[in-house]
Amino acid sequence: MSLYDTIQNEVRVKTLTEILEAKFEKPIPEDIKKFLNSADRKQLLQLTDRIFEISSFDEVREILEN
């Protein structure tokens, strides 16, 4: 992975974290933080695409585990 890709993923993770915390009005569970930090580009994009459909942290886990 190039430096550019790494930085892009870090920005995606930070943005998704902020959106999810605002959406659910509570901090993200530690296991999801770990998933987000180790997720690949495809997983992060899937989560981004479905951000408005997600209604629970369990749905976030499903996306990140696949």
Contact by Cβ (8 Å): 64, 43: yes
Tell me phi and psi for residue 39, to 5 degrees. Answer: -70, 150
Tokens of 19: 């959106």
Nearest to 45 by CA among 18, 4, 6, 13: 13
CA-CA distance, 53 to 12, in Å (whole number)? 18
pLDDT in tens, 29-62: 999 999 999 998 899 999 999 999 999 999 999 9
Tokens of 64: 């990140």
Q: How confident is the model at residue 1 (pLDDT cuts 50, 70, 90)?
A: confident
Q: Which pLDDT belongs to residue 65?
A: 85
What is the pTM (predicted TM-score) of this model?
Answer: 0.86
pLDDT in tens, 4-25: 989 999 999 999 999 999 999 9
Q: Which pLDDT belongs to residue 64?
A: 84
Q: Which pLDDT belongs to residue 5?
A: 87
